[in-house]
Amino acid sequence: MEYQQSSQNTPLYQQVKDYINNRIAQGILISGMRIESEAELSKMLNASRMTVNRALRELTAEGKLRRVQGLGTFVAEQKLQSPLFEIRSLAKEIEERGGRYSCDVHLLREEEASPWLAGEMKIQVLSPVFHSIIVHKEDGLPIQLGCRYINPEIAPDYLNQDYTRITPSDYLIQQAPVTAVEHVVEALIAEQWIRELLLIDSFEPCLVLHRKTWSGEQVATVNTFYYPGTRYTLGGRFVPDDRGKLDIV
């Protein structure tokens, strides 16, 4: 067989990568599922095995696939770990420390988007958004107040979950893949109602983490998390590995 590239100008190996990526994005391929072998893909997509091999090898380096010699190629469990702050459940973190996790749901309802929120989420003013305010506690002591606004298109059933059983983070991650995250940190003296819920006095500073997530082109969530400055710090250690990616240690 001779040299072929044909389509569009996009390299063939890239077309194979796109094909796999699309099937993952569309939910046709689920985490853990075995995908076609190189030989099968080679026939299906009319590309040589080496070209398919390159595509799958690169997708593996990108963390999207997992390959086992002699067995096959599988869809990796996708976990978007945003750099400094991995989006992980606070509950799990507390349990790892040996603490007892609990939470209070102070608000969980549908609201109409304010002009500010509409701008942030790129939706129409007064269009419906879901709003929740939840206080997470370790051994009964509040350590985070999470104020979340959720795009209903991303998680239509957000209001009908029991957040004493599954954290909002955990629920949202399984609803839609997060494709981008923005984090901003600041320090301030919180408003009174926040101080009361976090059990801090008027002179104790709050660490505030603003997190905005996207799913594709849509803004998925706009969150503000308040931490008592004296009871909580945020951080992580980052070591670039051989593949140029970052491990959270």
Partner DNA sequence: CTGCCCAACTTGTATATACAACTTAAAATG
Partner DNA sequence: CATTTTAAGTTGTATATACAAGTTGGGCAG
> Which positions lie near DNA, rule CB under 7 A?
1-5, 11-14, 37-40, 46-51, 53, 56-57, 60, 67-73
Q: Which does 37 bind (CB under 5 to 8 A by kind): DNA, a second copy, none?
A: DNA
First to last CA, the chain: 48
Nearest-angstrom CA–CA distance, 177 and 52: 25
| Minimal distance, residue 59 CB to DNA, in Å | 10
Nearer to a second copy, 99 or 177 (CB): 177
Looking at residue 204, the DSSP 8-state letter turns out to be S
Q: Which does 239 bind (CB under 5 to 8 A by kind): a second copy, DNA, none?
A: a second copy
Nearer to a second copy, 25 or 126 (CB): 25
Contacting positions for a second copy (CB under 8 A): 17, 58, 61-64, 80, 82-85, 179-189, 203-208, 210, 212, 227, 229-230, 232-240, 242-246
| Minimal distance, residue 248 CB to a second copy, in Å | 9
Nearer to DNA, 61 or 184 (CB): 61
| Minimal distance, residue 93 CB to a second copy, in Å | 14
Nearest-angstrom CA–CA distance, 238 and 241: 9
Cβ neighbors of 93 (< 8 A, separation 6 or more) are none
- Is residue 234 within 8 Å of residue 207, measured between CB atoms? yes
- Is residue 44 within 8 Å of residue 83, measured between CB atoms? no
Nearer to a second copy, 160 or 233 (CB): 233
| Minimal distance, residue 85 CB to a second copy, in Å | 7
| Minimal distance, residue 64 CB to DNA, in Å | 13
Range 82-110 burial, b when 16+ CB lie within 10 A, else e: beebebbbbbeebeeeebebbbeeeebee
Which of 148, 117, 169, 147 has its CA nearest to residue 226?
Answer: 147
Nearest-angstrom CA–CA distance, 36 and 13: 16
Nearest-angstrom CA–CA distance, 6 and 167: 48
Which tokens in the block code for residue 150? 């959720």
Q: Which does 11 bind (CB under 5 to 8 A by kind): a second copy, DNA, none?
A: DNA
Q: Which does 68 bind (CB under 5 to 8 A by kind): DNA, a second copy, none?
A: DNA
Nearer to DNA, 50 or 125 (CB): 50
Nearer to a second copy, 158 or 228 (CB): 228
